Structure formats: structure tokens, C-alpha cells
């Protein structure tokens, strides 16, 4: 059984965990304590030196003898290369360091990520949307902060084509350097006619059609996130298979679909459905969903009540006329209308609430390197 001392120690640890890492998917504060005689051994990882100081200040009030085994991330073992730039079309982020671990999320080519630690040939990264996961280091290039800033400042293009290739030569019959998906960011080297010469962060170069990308500097102004474009981006992904953890046109889970659609329209959504449910503004849908607008996010799961808390497990994009588009098995359209052939009774019963994000979510052009 736990001793009274142990429970007293755990209280400040839990309080600080709520302060510094209220969501374990996006922040690190993982600390365990052990008593050994009069000593208290403190083991774990935190992201900020200030968090560690506050932790030890709180614990020292009860235990004058503390043994420090807390690492402040990024781990010093990384040296000065504590950043990474993704060099494949879609880099997988897993729950543990191994190919058989759960796929939690993905991050796209050209994204700058923080590297926090390494283990067993894998690196623990934080993507631009702050999501944490283990990545294969062969899918990115490790860089210094200065090199990351240089990539951040370089002239780049944002890929708007859903699928494609970087070709070795400026013609479509030449072999590829790599594949690309919508949302990729490439360095712009030059242009000739209908072709752009582009570069990856690892030094590889090649060519893409000018029509496949837009200048990243223009992205925030040239791409206006209007409802019709949100709908079009969603419809262009019709039939794409459901993939747990997927966030690219190659495969999407429910929130990966909404994230991808909005990403292609210049807006960054959080990674998971219950995180997206905190973005934007609440909308009262009305009995017949008459107050909803095209592009609103719809959230499904369990409403709060009868001693149970709300639980959001699914998200969709409203299209109007009581129809919505979402990833469930595949990207498809369903309806709240019982008379429609697209009616889905299960989703109608588990609908919880709606949010409007078009006017209140950060645009991509405003999001710089962390």
C-alpha cells in the first residue's frame, strides 16, 4: 500500500502535470517518485527548465533529500541537431519507437519538427501542430536551429495538387526523385516555362509543374478559406480510404480528413477530433440544422449528462442541406435527413455539437517555426 509520504509527494507532481502538460499528446511532463530511506528519487522528463525547478521547489518542502533523475528535453544526447525537416511525402508518427507501434499522426514533407530525444533508432518529435510521436529518422533530416531557421526563411512553394511527383527532369516521363502530396512544402530554386525547379531539405532537387503548387508567401492571401473551397477540397478526397492516424491525401482518419481539407485552404486545425472541438466558435445548429453553414465542423460521440462527461470521437464537415462529408471507412457523404438515401441514423443519434472555424483559426502564413 502507498505510504502517506508518497501520496503527499504525488500531489504537487499531479498539479504541475496539469499545468505544464494538460494534454499528453502535445506536451511532456512525465515524472515518477520513489522513496528510498530518507531520500526521494525523482525520475522522468519535462520540456522546460522552469517546470523542473518548480517541481523540485515543491518537493523539497516535504523532502530535504532529493535525488535528481529528471531530464529536461530536448535530451543533451542529441547535440546541437535538435530540429528536423521532413524529407518524405508523409512521415509517420507512432506511439512507441517501432514499426509495429500504433500510428498516431503524420507530418508532411518540408515540415519543421522539434526533436526531443532518441531511442532504439527512432526519434521523438513534435510536429508543427504540437503533436508528439516517434518517427523514423530516415524520413527526415536532422538539423541545427540555425539550419532550421534558414529553411524557414527560404523561398518555398506549397503543393496544392493532391498527388504527384518531383521529377528528375522537367518532363512528366522522367523518373521521380520522390512522390509528393497536397500540403508538402518545397524550396523554390527556379522556374522555366511550366516547370518549377524545387529542392528538398536533404539536398535533392527536381521539377514539378507550376500548376501543382503556389508560392508559400502568397498562401495566406491567395487561398481564401471560403465555404465553397472547403467543400471542393473535401469532395476531391472522396473515396480515399480511412487510415487510423492518417493526415494526408493517401489516407485519413476522421480528424485527419478535416485537418487536411483545412490545411489545403490555408488554415491549421489541431490533430484530434476532441482537440478540434475546442477551436473556432460554437454554433447552435437548430432542430433541422438550419443554423449551420457550409464548412462548419460537426462533432459526434457522447453528450454530457447523467453523471458522464462529454466524449468526442468523430468529426465531419457540414456541406449544407443536412449533408456532411467525413472519413468513415472511406471519405463519403452522409445526411441527417431521414428521407435521404444518404441518411445515417447512427451519426444522427450520436451528434453532439458544431463549431465554426473559418473566421477564427490561425492561417498557415501566420504559423512560423516554433
Under a CB-based contact definition with an 8 Å cutoff, are residues 107 and 128 in contact?
yes
- Write the DSSP assignment of 147-165 as a string of letters: HHHHHHHS-EEEE-SSEEE
Residue 120: which of 104, 99, 105 has the closest Cα?
99
Distance of CA 242 to the CA centre of its chain: 17
> What cell does 161 get?
495538387
Catalytic residue among 5, 167, 291, 326: 326
Q: Catalytic site residue 167?
A: no
Collapsed DSSP state (helix, strand, coil) of residue 25 = coil
Q: Catalytic site residue 314?
A: yes
How far is the C-alpha of 348 from the C-alpha of 346, rounded, in Å? 6
Catalytic residue among 5, 167, 178, 254: 254
> What cell does 96 get?
512507441
H-run or E-run covering 17: helix 4-20
Catalytic residue among 5, 167, 178, 314: 314
Under a CB-based contact definition with an 8 Å cutoff, are residues 185 and 156 in contact?
yes
Measured from the Cβ of residue 1, the count of other Cβ atoms closer than 10 Å reads 3
What does DSSP say about strands 195-199 and 251-252: parallel, antiparallel, or unpaired?
unpaired
What positions carry a catalytic annotation?
Answer: 254, 314, 326
Amino acid at each position: 500500500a502507498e505510504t502517506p509520504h508518497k501520496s503527499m509527494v504525488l500531489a504537487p507532481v499531479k498539479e504541475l502535470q496539469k499545468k505544464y502538460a494538460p494534454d499528453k499528446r502535445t506536451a511532456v511532463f512525465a515524472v515518477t517518485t520513489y522513496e528510498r530511506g530518507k531520500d526521494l528519487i525523482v525520475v522522468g522528463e519535462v520540456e522546460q527548465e522552469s517546470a523542473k525547478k518548480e517541481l523540485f521547489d515543491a518537493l523539497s518542502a516535504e523532502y530535504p533529500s532529493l535525488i535528481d533523475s529528471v531530464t529536461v528535453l530536448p535530451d543533451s544526447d542529441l547535440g546541437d541537431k535538435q530540429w528536423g525537416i521532413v524529407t518524405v511525402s508523409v512521415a509517420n508518427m507512432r506511439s512507441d519507437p517501432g514499426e509495429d507501434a500504433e500510428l498516431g499522426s503524420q507530418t508532411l514533407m518540408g515540415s519543421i519538427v522539434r526533436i526531443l530525444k532518441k531511442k532504439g533508432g527512432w526519434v521523438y518529435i513534435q510536429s508543427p501542430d504540437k503533436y508528439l510521436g516517434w518517427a523514423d529518422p530516415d524520413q527526415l533530416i536532422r538539423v541545427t536551429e540555425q539550419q532550421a531557421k534558414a529553411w524557414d526563411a527560404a523561398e518555398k512553394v506549397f503543393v496544392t495538387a493532391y498527388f504527384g511527383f518531383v521529377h528528375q527532369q522537367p518532363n512528366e516521363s522522367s523518373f521521380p526523385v520522390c512522390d509528393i502530396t497536397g500540403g508538402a512544402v518545397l524550396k523554390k530554386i527556379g522556374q522555366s516555362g511550366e516547370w518549377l525547379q524545387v529542392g528538398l531539405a536533404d539536398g535533392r532537387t527536381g521539377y514539378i509543374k507550376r500548376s501543382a503548387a503556389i508560392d508559400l508567401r502568397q498562401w495566406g492571401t491567395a487561398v481564401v478559406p471560403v465555404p465553397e473551397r472547403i467543400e471542393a477540397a473535401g469532395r476531391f478526397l472522396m473515396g480515399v480510404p480511412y487510415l487510423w492516424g492518417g493526415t494526408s491525401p493517401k489516407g485519413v482518419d476522421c480528424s485527419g480528413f478535416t485537418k487536411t481539407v483545412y490545411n489545403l485552404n490555408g488554415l491549421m486545425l489541431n490533430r484530434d477530433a476532441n482537440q478540434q472541438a475546442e477551436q473556432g466558435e460554437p454554433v447552435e445548429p437548430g432542430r433541422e440544422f438550419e443554423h449551420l453553414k457550409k464548412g462548419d465542423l460537426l462533432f459526434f460521440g457522447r453528450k454530457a449528462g447523467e453523471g458522464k462527461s462529454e466524449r468526442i470521437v468523430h468529426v465531419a464537415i457540414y456541406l449544407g442541406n443536412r449533408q456532411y462529408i467525413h472519413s468513415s471507412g472511406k471519405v463519403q457523404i452522409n445526411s441527417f435527413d431521414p428521407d435521404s438515401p444518404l441518411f445515417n441514423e447512427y451519426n444522427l443519434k450520436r451528434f453532439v455539437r458544431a463549431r465554426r472555424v473559418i473566421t477564427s483559426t490561425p492561417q498557415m502564413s501566420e504559423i512560423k517555426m516554433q
